[in-house]
Structure 1
Amino acid sequence: MTREDIMRAAWKQSAIDANCRPEDFCSGHHRVVVSEANGKARKYLELPAYCMLVSYGSNIVASVDSSIAGEVEEYLERFRIGHCFGTPNIYLLNDLFARDNRQICFMAEYFLPDRERLRALPCGYEIKILYPQDLHPFYQPQWDNALSRSRKELDVLAAGAFYGTKLVGLAGCSADCDSMWQIGVDVLPQYRRQGIASALTSRLALECLDRGKIPFYCAAWANLQSVRNAIRSGFGPAWVEVDARPAAFIKEINGEAL
């Protein structure tokens, strides 16, 4: 699977998620489309989306509710691409969304494997490949980035780092869509800064590719530890997303009373 194959597959999946065409992500022109639900979209997306902005770097695709399509298009034309995703410009969208009791919510950067750099990295611990039947003891808070306690059925593959019989690091794959599996990783605090996260991430990425699946990795923009792990592991930045959610959902995440 070449770099071009991987990128085309990502465009195809993003087109399913956003209700547009794959070529829209490399057209050089912004596109605003009306969001629709799709059974082949990434499982964790809330569709139809009120507003989801997606960019692979050359333009922005906005998948939105029809009621805000015109105003979002005006916003995209007003600012440069990078500025559309950041403060202070994005406050304008927050002000617009307030009329529907929505707010900007998740802001994330996504990474895809670089076939020229991806290789199995070493660490000083035994790495074992784990399957769904092996994962039941590990649905615990310390492994919440690697595994999903609310969507266990999507956890299809994992790589664990062991010190004897003790699990000290875990990377897991979630089958979030047909062609692409998302990797998340956790390392126990006392075992960090030893190369465990990058060893697990790189090994699991290769296992995905061997199975004909494209691994992808997501990090919040300000999570530099996670971003650095993606890069060390042989991944490169591919696309960014911003979405809007109901204000009540955001209050719940923040632990505020509704």
Structure 2
Amino acid sequence: MTNEEMIKISMKQSAEDIGCKIEDFLNDKNVYVPFKLGANAKKYYKLPIGCNFISYGSNVVAASAEDFYDITNEYINKFLFYHCFETPNIYWLNERLESKGYKVCFMAEYFLPDVNKLKELHCDYELRVLEKEEFSDLYKSEWSNALCSDRKELDVLCVGAYDGDKLIGLAGCSADADDMWQIGVDVLLEYRKRGIACALTSKLAMEILKRGKVPFYCCAWSNIRSAKNAIKSGFVPAWAEMTVKPIDVINEMNK
């Protein structure tokens, strides 16, 4: 699979996620569309969603519910697209959303592999590919980034790093979309900074590609360690997202 094919699949999925067209992400002007969560949207999206902003680097595509049209449209026409994802401009948006009971909730950067950089990386420990039946007993707190106990049915493949018989690192992926599998990784504290995380991530990405799926990786902009792992593993920044949710949902998360 080429880089061009992967980015096209990713844009097609993002279009399904918010109800726009692939061409909207390639426009040199910001684009507004009514928000529509597609039947084949990524499985972690949960309604209600007031607005969702996505940028692949050329513009921002903003999708919102009808009640937020005026606010969203003014926002993306007031600020440069990349400033729409940062303060102080987000404060402008939040002040207007708050009267409707919503605020900015999620902000993240997403990575796709670069096939010219992706390769198996050296690891001092044995790496093993684990199919679904082989990691069913690994839903433990130390592997909470690699596996999700709330959505076990979506976890499809793992790569484990072993020191003898001891599992010391785990990368797992969830089938969050029909053609895209998301990677998460954990390494035991005492084994960190030894190149294990990037060896696991790159190995799992290649296994995903062998199965005809697109691997993707997500982290917060402030999670420098995770972003460095993505880059060391052969991934590059692909798109950014920002999602607006009800204030009571946000407050519940902050308890």
| 8 A Cα contact 1:36 1:49, kept in partner | no
Q: Percent identity?
A: 50
**How far apart are residue 49 of structure 1 and its match?**
2.5
Secondary structure, counterpart of 2:170 in structure 1: strand
1:82 alignment partner AA:
Y
Aligned length: 255
Give deviations 1:202-239, integer Å, cap 9, x for gaps: 00000000000000000001000000000000000000
Partner of 1:230: 230
Partner of 2:115: 115
| 8 A Cα contact 2:108 2:219, kept in partner | yes
Q: Distance in 1 between matches of 2:35 and 2:81?
A: 21
Partner of 1:138: 138
**How far apart are residue 246 of structure 1 and its match?**
1.5
Partner of 1:53: 53
| 8 A Cα contact 1:34 1:64, kept in partner | yes
Partner of 1:105: 105
Secondary structure, counterpart of 1:137 in structure 2: coil
2:144 alignment partner AA:
D
| 8 A Cα contact 2:48 2:245, kept in partner | no
Partner of 1:31: 31
1:50-199, aligned counterparts within 5 Å?
Answer: 50-199=50-199
**How far apart are residue 142 of structure 1 and its match?**
1.1
Q: Distance in 2 between matches of 1:78 and 1:105?
A: 21
2:197 alignment partner AA:
A
Q: Which ranges in structure 1 are unaligned for 5 or more consecutive residues?
A: none
**How far apart are residue 48 of structure 1 and its match?**
5.7
Secondary structure, counterpart of 2:32 in structure 1: strand
**How far apart are residue 46 of structure 1 and its match?**
1.9
| 8 A Cα contact 1:101 1:246, kept in partner | yes
**How far apart are residue 47 of structure 1 and its match?**
4.0
* TM-score computed with the length of structure 1 as normaliser: 0.97
**How far apart are residue 39 of structure 1 and its match?**
2.1
Q: Distance in 1 between matches of 2:7 and 2:239?
A: 10
| 8 A Cα contact 1:103 1:247, kept in partner | yes
| Pairing 1:5–2:2 present | no
Q: Which ranges in structure 2 are unaligned for 5 or more consecutive residues?
A: none
**How far apart are residue 70 of structure 1 and its match?**
2.2
| 8 A Cα contact 1:102 1:245, kept in partner | yes
1:28 alignment partner AA:
D
Q: Which moved more, 1:12-21 or 1:71-80?
A: 71-80
* TM-score computed with the length of structure 2 as normaliser: 0.98
Moved over 6 A (4+): none
Secondary structure, counterpart of 2:98 in structure 1: helix
| 8 A Cα contact 1:168 1:187, kept in partner | yes
Partner of 2:241: 241
| 8 A Cα contact 1:36 1:47, kept in partner | no
Q: CA RMSD in A?
A: 1.0
1:225 alignment partner AA:
R
Q: Distance in 2 between matches of 1:188 and 1:251?
A: 31
| 8 A Cα contact 1:103 1:244, kept in partner | yes
